[in-house]
Chains A and B, each alone.
Chain A
Amino acid sequence: ILNVEQSPQSLHVQEGDSTNFTCSFPSSNFYALHWYRWETAKSPEALFVMTLNGDEKKKGRISATLNTKEGYSYLYIKGSQPEDSATYLCAPKGPGKLIFGQGTELSVKP
């Protein structure tokens, strides 16, 4: 069973601040790591799928890194905007399924 931990649980920042979140997971039986953004009243939206140790992905102001040996991934948002307010979920893929963390709830104030 994979235990996935995300920190912090919630984050309140001002517009323009840069921020980062952590996803920790057991490094054994690792297959891939997914990041999703889930805005209220919408469907979770895929951000990245990362598979290789040392992987770095970028999408606009959002980027992510992956360390499979030590079992963690970081998600960075540069210059947060109010539209970035959402819950950010990580989900390592273990044998046969995605195991979602509880998420980091980000609130960006204008």
Chain B
Amino acid sequence: KAGVTQTPRYLIKTRGQQVTLSCSPISGHRSVSWYQQTPGQGLQFLFEYFSETQRNKGNFPGRFSGRQFSNSRSEMNVSTLELGDSALYLCASSPSGGADTQYFGPGTRLTVL
């Protein structure tokens, strides 16, 4: 089975712009979770989507949003970028969430100038 893929792998934006990141889960997985990692921080949970519905949400401002399509692919959007949004964004898929093992993609490295 192909693993989790994320595009793009690297992205440079300027403050105030918006960005969309994409995640394609492992075939058959219906749960997709997004995480942010910044220097000195652990992986911070952003949100989880399951069957096109946001099932859980972390403590991030409304500028961070996401969606999931019928094929389970997910996108994450960040509007009005700030310097502090520079981070590695990881997505992870699992069959149904819960206590399932999550399989991570390679991440998108976002740099905001």
Contact = CB atoms under 8 A, between A and B. Distances in A.
Partners in one complex: yes
B55 A96 contact: yes
A31 B56 CA distance: 15
Contacts, number: 54
Given A43-B106, A46-B103, A102 B42 contact: yes
A97 B101 CA distance: 12
Interface residues of B, number: 25
Interface in B77-104: 90, 92, 98-104
Interface of B: 3-4, 33, 35, 41-45, 48, 55-56, 58, 90, 92, 98-107
Contacts of A45: 104
A104 B100 CA distance: 23
Contacts of A49: 99-101
Contact of B90 (A43, A46, A97, A101): A43
A101 B42 contact: yes
B33 A97 contact: yes
B24 to A, nearest CB: 14
A43 B33 contact: no
B4 A89 contact: no
A11 interface: no
Contacts of B58: 97
A91 B104 CA distance: 14
B94 to A, nearest CB: 10
Interface string A89-102: 10101001111111
A31 to B, nearest CB: 6
B90 to A, nearest CB: 7
A109 interface: no
Interface string A31-67: 1101010000011111001010000000000000000
